[in-house]
Amino acid sequence: MTIHITTLNGMALYNDAQNNQQIVANYGKQLGMNKFCIFTYNWPDEPVDARNTRFDGIMASLNAGDTVILQSPSWISMDWDQAFIDHLFIYQAIQKIIFIHDVIPLIDNNKKDLLPNVINYYNKADVLIVPSQNMYDFLRKNGLQKKKYVIQHFFDHPYTSTIDSSNKPKNSKTINLIDKFPNSDYINQWSSSDIKLKLYGARIDHSISNNPNVELAGQKSDPALLAELRQTGGFGFAWSQDEYSHLHPSYIVSTYLAAGIPVIVSDTSPIAEKIKEKKLGIVTTSLEEIAEKISILSDEQYEDMIKNIDKFSKLIQNGYFTKKVLIDSVMKDNFE
């Protein structure tokens, strides 16, 4: 039996969706998996024969009895994804595992009506890899059949640079926020003179620069970003209370933890209990609490967090969460 895993190509060089799938596929390759590379393209009226020929090319190494891990979504279209998994049924005894990265109808309000189609797609899998228990429960309430499943919990963030263990992050009373479009009213209204808000992003509303309590750090390459986060210290901001954040842990959390700094998350986040249990940061019920909790945090309390994160971050930096769910999903499919 060969295990195959899909991955995206053809998007912009630093596209997050493509990058996240390639990280997973590369860890899969380390485990002996074969890549099915999917080139993203826009051809809504692609003839069925042409599309099927494309599928045959992607699946050229597939044999009866193999397992295919489909990273979802493909970001081409839901119809394309449905047709791709249906094409697998042509082959005999193919086991299908769907690795859920994002659920588009829950991200884009304009596509909410696609949720039944997406769940119908998930129902064609033998095993699901879900980002959280909350996500699996939500899908079950909305039409997902009972499935074998494994939970990702945290996403990984490879860090190949050598970390200077003597360079410990400091309790700098800084909140680091990574966001491509950080233009919220919350940022514009940040008024704490004791807690600095440091923004990393390519497209930042210039009106923010008028706020003396906000520092604009610009966009960084990944190695430079992680190094600067560690040098800056303080906390990584991943706080949100929208519906999706209750179902899906933020990828940005793993960026902060890979850099070695504690995080700020909402108590509604699916990883809130683990952050609290492992003492990896601050769990808060409201934005108003954040500045107060940081201001009263002692250096000794902060250093204890850093010690915990130094251990935990090695899991994220070396792909252990991803490798575990890939192995566990195959075992559930073929053994349990």
Q: Running along the chain, 336 residues long, what does each successive block of 10 average in pLDDT?
A: 95 86 97 97 95 97 97 97 97 97 95 96 98 98 98 92 77 91 66 86 66 84 91 94 92 95 96 97 91 94 97 95 98 84
**162 assigned to some structural domain:** no
Whether residue 328 contacts residue 149, with contact meaning beta carbons closer than 8 Å, is answered with no
Check whether residue 104 and residue 26 sit in a common domain.
Answer: yes
Shared domain for 324 and 197, answered yes or no, is: no
Residues 119 and 65 in one domain: yes
- Which pLDDT value is given to residue 25? 98
Do 151 and 19 lie in a common domain?
A: yes
- What token pair was written down for 192? 């704490």
263 and 323 inside one domain: no
Same domain, 9 and 99: yes
- The range of the structural domain enclosing residue 83 comes to 3-156+319-334
Q: Please report whether residue 57 resides in a domain.
A: yes
Query: What are the C-alpha distances in Å from 62 to residues 25, 54, 55, 57, 335?
Result: 17, 14, 11, 10, 21
Is 167 contained in some domain?
no
The answer on 151 and 54 residing in a single domain is yes
Q: Contact at 8 Å (CB) between 262 and 235?
A: yes
Q: Supply the CATH number for residue 136's domain.
A: 3.40.50.2000
Judge whether 169 lies within some domain.
no
Do 34 and 143 belong to one domain?
yes
- Which pLDDT value is given to residue 209? 61
Looking at the structure, do residues 89 and 181 belong to the same domain, yes or no? no
> 272 and 215, same structural domain?
yes
Enumerate the β-bridge partners of residue 128: 98, 149
Q: Determine the pLDDT at residue 15.
A: 87
Q: Say whether both 276 and 305 belong to one domain.
A: yes
In a domain, 328, yes or no: yes
Q: Are 170 and 262 a contacting pair, CB within 8 Å?
A: no
pTM over 0.85: yes
60, 111, 114, 266, 319 from 119: Cα distances, Å: 27, 13, 9, 27, 28
Question: What is each CA distance from 147 to 122, 124, 129, in whole angstroms?
Answer: 9, 10, 10
* Cβ neighbours, 10 Å, residue 17: 18
The sheet with strand 263-266 has its strands ordered as 214-216, 196-200, 174-178, 235-237, 263-266, 281-284
Rounded Cα gap, residues 241 and 246, in angstroms: 7
Is the same domain home to 28 and 136? yes
Q: Where are the beta strands (DSSP E) in the chain?
A: 3-9, 34-39, 67-72, 95-100, 127-130, 148-151, 174-178, 196-200, 214-216, 235-237, 263-266, 281-284
Q: How far apart are the first and last CA of the chain?
A: 17
**pLDDT, position 294:** 95
Per-residue pLDDT of 229-276, as tens digits, reads 999 999 999 988 889 999 999 999 999 999 999 999 999 999 999 999
Q: How many domains does the chain have?
A: 2
Q: Is 163 exposed, middle or buried (0-12, 13-18, 19+ CB in 10 A)?
A: middle
Whether 164 is covered by a domain: the verdict is: no
